[in-house]
Amino acid sequence: MKILVISLAGIGDTLIATPLLHELRLNFPEAVIDVLTMWPGSKDLLEGNPHINRVFQKNLIRCGKWEAVRFLWSLRRHGYQLSICTHPQSRIHYRVAAWLAGAGVRISHEYECFRWLDRRLATVTLPQDYTRHSIENNLDILPLIGARRKLAAHEMELFLKPAEERFAENFLAQPALSGKKILGLHVGSGGTKNLPLKRWPLMHYAELVRRLNQERPDLRMLLFGGPEEGKDHEILLSQANRERTQEARTKNLRETAALIQRCSAFLSVDTALMHLAAALKVPNQIVIEAPTLNVTNWPYGNPFTLVRNPRVNGRGLDFYRYDGGDIRGTREELIACMASVQVADVFAAVTKLI
């Protein structure tokens, strides 16, 4: 059997798909299991995964429509019998991609935005369940293909190399960090649609960093993120104690993961790095509630402290559902929503844990 697992949504969603990949390998040990991803970071996370054969990565947004069509059509030469669109991939474009790749059996969850064409593009569908994590929604696919759960428990999986582990050890051996408690911070979020509006205000982060620098001299802070967070990091560092706060400069997401794994605590909204921290079992994980947070995308398998957003307060599905649309609300409303999370509340959560 040849299987193509399609994970074109966020980087965190690819990490969420890894328990399904493990189960597919256990159920079909002789199968060819390939993965199609959109983002380089998604491919990074799958590097060295023993349960898959290869990873195709193509930014289908940037490359242009016809190049995207040619690339997806070229996947037909591999002769996939089965393709799986992992949860959550609600937009019809993901099912178009599956159809172009050519597998005879194409599985997808059904979303609120499903129309007659979605049902033609996907040959087998199943309902999504907002009361259960996306990992569980993905594992619901197994019975549809004659498989079953063989693992007693499931974890998001990342397989770091010794060189990446050494990088992290050497980074943290510098005098400013050696032997210190480390708080990892990720100020960013997804950049598609209006997802940047779920970020906690940068000036709130700046105030938090200044206060921690002053009141917790035993604590060191590492700012995590890619080039897209570079300007935000510059602003934060310009107002911080540079001996106690620095940027975690890494070459790729795997080196980032190796550093996050060694943090004493990690703070973010729901982002790919939140899922990465959960996968690596970082202690003292802290999540600021954003309008996109719901049961399907909580940190899986890792205890965490939730700093409640008074304007969301557990009602994430009122703001954001997997229907292909934006977070509900105007730009001004969503900025005010995230600004309603007070610095004092986040400071209290951090200092209580570490």
Q: State the pLDDT confidence band at 189, using cuts at 50, 70 and 90.
A: confident
> Is 270 a domain residue?
yes
Burial class (CB in 10 A: 0-12, 13-18, 19+), 90: buried
Average pLDDT score over residue span 271-288:
97
Q: State the pLDDT confidence band at 64, using cuts at 50, 70 and 90.
A: confident
- Residue 13, pLDDT > 90, answer yes
> Is 152 a domain residue?
no
Does residue 313 sit in the same domain as residue 183?
Answer: yes
- Three-state DSSP string of 5-20: EEECCCHHHHHHCHHH
Counted residue by residue, the chain has a size of: 354
pLDDT by residue (tens digit) across 142-177? 999 999 999 999 999 999 999 999 999 999 999 999
Sign of CA dihedral 300, 223, 158, 57: positive
Q: Which of 156, 147, 150 is nearest to 3 (CA)?
A: 147
- Residue 107, pLDDT > 80, answer yes
Average pLDDT score over residue span 105-128:
96
> Is 29 a domain residue?
yes
Does residue 127 sit in the same domain as residue 266?
Answer: no
- The structural domain count of the chain equals 2
The pLDDT assigned to 190 comes to 79
The pLDDT assigned to 70 comes to 96
Does residue 170 sit in the same domain as residue 98?
Answer: no
Does residue 166 sit in the same domain as residue 127?
Answer: no
Does residue 138 sit in the same domain as residue 175?
Answer: no
**Distance between CA atoms of 224 and 285, rounded to whole angstroms?**
14
Q: State the pLDDT confidence band at 296, using cuts at 50, 70 and 90.
A: very high
**Distance between CA atoms of 176 and 183, rounded to whole angstroms?**
13
- Residue 191, pLDDT > 80, answer no
Average pLDDT score over residue span 314-342:
96
- Identify the domain containing residue 230 by its residue range: 162-353
- Residue 61, pLDDT > 90, answer no
Q: State the pLDDT confidence band at 240, using cuts at 50, 70 and 90.
A: very high
Does residue 139 sit in the same domain as residue 169?
Answer: no
At position 109, the amino acid (one-letter code) is H
DSSP string, 88-99: S--SHHHHHHHH
Does residue 219 sit in the same domain as residue 337?
Answer: yes
Does residue 206 sit in the same domain as residue 342?
Answer: yes
170 near 310, Cβ under 8 Å? Answer: no
Does residue 222 sit in the same domain as residue 293?
Answer: yes
Does residue 136 sit in the same domain as residue 173?
Answer: no
Average pLDDT score over residue span 177-201:
92
- Residue 193, pLDDT > 90, answer no
Q: Which of 43, 24, 42, 41 is nearest to 33 (CA)?
A: 24
> Is 154 a domain residue?
no
Q: State the pLDDT confidence band at 265, using cuts at 50, 70 and 90.
A: very high
**Distance between CA atoms of 187 and 226, rounded to whole angstroms?**
11
Is the pTM here over 0.85, yes or no? yes
The pLDDT assigned to 199 comes to 97
> Is 150 a domain residue?
no
Does residue 187 sit in the same domain as residue 324?
Answer: yes
The DSSP H or E segment spanning 47 is: none
At position 278, the amino acid (one-letter code) is A
- Residue 27, pLDDT > 80, answer yes
CATH number for the domain harbouring residue 125? 3.40.50.2000
> Is 10 a domain residue?
yes
Average pLDDT score over residue span 226-239:
93
The pLDDT assigned to 278 comes to 98
> Is 157 a domain residue?
no
Contacts of 57 (CB under 8 A, 6+ apart): 36, 37, 38, 39, 40, 42, 43
Does residue 130 sit in the same domain as residue 19?
Answer: yes
DSSP string, 117-165: HHHHH-SEEEE--TTS-HHHHHHTTGGGGT-----SS--------HHHH
pLDDT by residue (tens digit) across 298-318? 999 999 999 999 999 999 999
